[in-house]
Amino acid sequence: MKQKSVLIIGAGLAGIAAAAALARRGLHVTILEKNAHPGGRCDHFSREGHTFDTGPTLLIMPHVYEDEFAALGASFRERLDLQRVDPTYHLVFDNGSRLNLTSDLKSMEDQLEQIEPDSFDGFLRYMEESGQHYNQAMRHLVDRDFRHPGDFFNLRNLPLLFSVRPLLKHYQHVGAFFDEPRLKAAFTFQDMYMGLSPFEAPATFSMMPYTEMVHGVWYPKGGLYQVVEAVPAIAREAGVEFAFGCPVERIDVTDHHVGGVTLKDGQRIQADAVLANADLPYVYNELLPPEKTAQKLLNKRYSCSVLSFFWGVDKVYPQLAPHTLFLSDNYRENFDAVAHKMVVPENPCLYVHAPSRLDPAMAPAGQDTLTAIVPIGHMIDGQEPDWRALMHQARQAIFKRLEALGIRDLEQHIKFETCFTPLSWRRRYNLVKGATHGLCHNLTQLGYLRPGNRHARYHNLYFVGASTRPGTGMPTAMISARLTSQRLIEDLG
């Protein structure tokens, strides 16, 4: 019998993991990637001995990677050299106070009680409840292949309305455990990683601080890009073919089927199925014939974006931990500012990553590799902001916040700078509106309510990745890959 073929558009983590799963089941799989190397948003670069992860910097939910690697016949622990990062984050507040989030409960008790008396009890209650959120949400919302509305809207799922609290706002709900605004911020800022505001995110997302505390935040030697190095290796072992520098121009369709793709250089490639890993709203709007859904997707809610600065620095700043977060007293204003406007918030919350604390090889001896990330609104059609002015504003905000740690001379010690703006995210990876996490994860865009993994009309066209189900994040990308590849295999028979 002729071997069935699948074309995958995009070598992001979800595309590669899906490719490996499909090839292991005997399909002929080719990945077409516009860029020169795999990984998509999970990217990196090196310069003058400094190595930067330009996308993810936090490996969370290690057990999900373990399971997904095992499903691909590989051992996660054997392929990566992992260390746990504890304390995970060093939080710095506007008034100079600090909180190091750690799995050491005695240290947590001492620190929390100093900030708010009796708050350790609130912390333990919060962790207990968020553990339930984690377990329930992973089982019923994340690791689920919703094929029909009835899979989601049914009586069995009704208890979820109470058990994972999707109807309560996260920030409001955290008030049941803490009064002190600094602690409310400390246990909700993780929503930012989903591109969400805690003032809008469902309380379900307390699952994020839970998993970071309990399952840990980890770091692979060599940085997060090592995960990307590992997954294509598994895919190649399974027989997947990669074509880099190969932008797809359009998906070729007939009435209810796709027949293959046409590349930018005009070459046509046929296949029995196409799986799109490129950002889903981009695929509907740029690669498929015009249809109403495409416009509807553009009107959905998008995550915010970020301005990322990558600095090679000629001295070491030991005051900076691996993951330092500066949380602002203007917590709400921060999120409101970036929800609908292309602005940098005043006094922004911001994140600084110093990878050589975890792996000295990430910077030359006696020097530092620093990444600083400031949230910014996603791009708005028809508006061309003054990027230089926004970058200047964000850079100055970072320098100002670093003064709280006694760092006053960073500007003089930067050897080189690379900056990613929303425009970079759009150009490099075709992310619609430059939204770093794609479609956002508010209540009406969660679970089954996110765009599905198979096209409603073209039944041999599938989607994996951040803007489809289950959603953003590296572990989630691998789950998306497994669920969708299973469905594709069933459909192709």
Q: Compute the least distance from the CB of residue 202 to ligand FAD, in Å.
A: 19
> Interface with ligand FAD by CB under 6 A: which range of 39-47, 111-119, 328-336, 483-491?
39-47
Which residues on neighbouring strands pair with residue 439, listed in sequence order? 302
The dihedral through the CA atoms of 231, 215, 122, 101 has a sign that is negative
Which of 6, 27, 92, 248 contacts ligand FAD by CB under 6 A? 248
Q: Compute the least distance from the CB of residue 288 to ligand FAD, in Å.
A: 12
Is 214:131 a contact under the CB 8 Å cutoff?
A: yes
> Interface with ligand FAD by CB under 6 A: which range of 38-46, 95-103, 197-205, 339-347?
38-46
Asked if residue 232 has a cis previous peptide bond (ω within 30° of 0), the answer is no
Q: How far is CA 405 from CA 95, 108, 319, 412, 469, in A?
A: 12, 21, 6, 17, 40
Which of 138, 185, 258, 306 contacts ligand FAD by CB under 6 A? 306
Which of 5, 6, 7, 9 contacts ligand FAD by CB under 6 A? 9
Residues 413-442 contacting ligand FAD, CB under 6 A: 429-430, 436
What tokens appear for 394 in the block? 């964000």
Judged by CB, which is closer to ligand FAD: 57, or 136? 57
Is 299:274 a contact under the CB 8 Å cutoff?
A: no
Judged by CB, which is closer to ligand FAD: 119, or 334? 334
- Number of chain residues interacting with ligand FAD (CB under 6 A): 36
Judged by CB, which is closer to ligand FAD: 146, or 178? 146
Q: Is 216 in the site for ligand FAD (CB under 6 A)?
A: no
Q: Compute the least distance from the CB of residue 465 to ligand FAD, in Å.
A: 3
| Long-range CB pairs of 85-89, under 8 A, 24+ apart, other chains included | 85/216, 85/217, 85/218, 85/219, 85/322, 85/323, 85/358, 86/216, 86/217, 87/321, 88/212, 88/213, 88/216, 88/217, 88/323, 89/217, 89/321, 89/323, 89/324, 89/325
Residues 433-492 contacting ligand FAD, CB under 6 A: 436, 465-466, 472-474, 477
Q: Which of 207, 144, 172 is nearest to 479 (CA)?
A: 144
What tokens appear for 493 in the block? 């028979």
Q: Compute the least distance from the CB of residue 94 to ligand FAD, in Å.
A: 24
Residues 257-286 contacting ligand FAD, CB under 6 A: 277-279
> Interface with ligand FAD by CB under 6 A: which range of 29-37, 67-75, 81-89, 290-298?
29-37
Q: How far apart are the first and last CA of the chain?
A: 12
CA distance 18 to 478: 8
Q: Which of 40, 62, 144 is nearest to 484 (CA)?
A: 144
From residue 174 to residue 193, the character string flagging contacts with ligand FAD as x (rule: CB under 6 A) and all else as - is -------------------x
In the complex, which residues of this chain contact ligand FAD (CB under 6 A)? 9-15, 32-35, 40-42, 55-58, 60, 193, 247-248, 277-279, 306, 308, 429-430, 436, 465-466, 472-474, 477
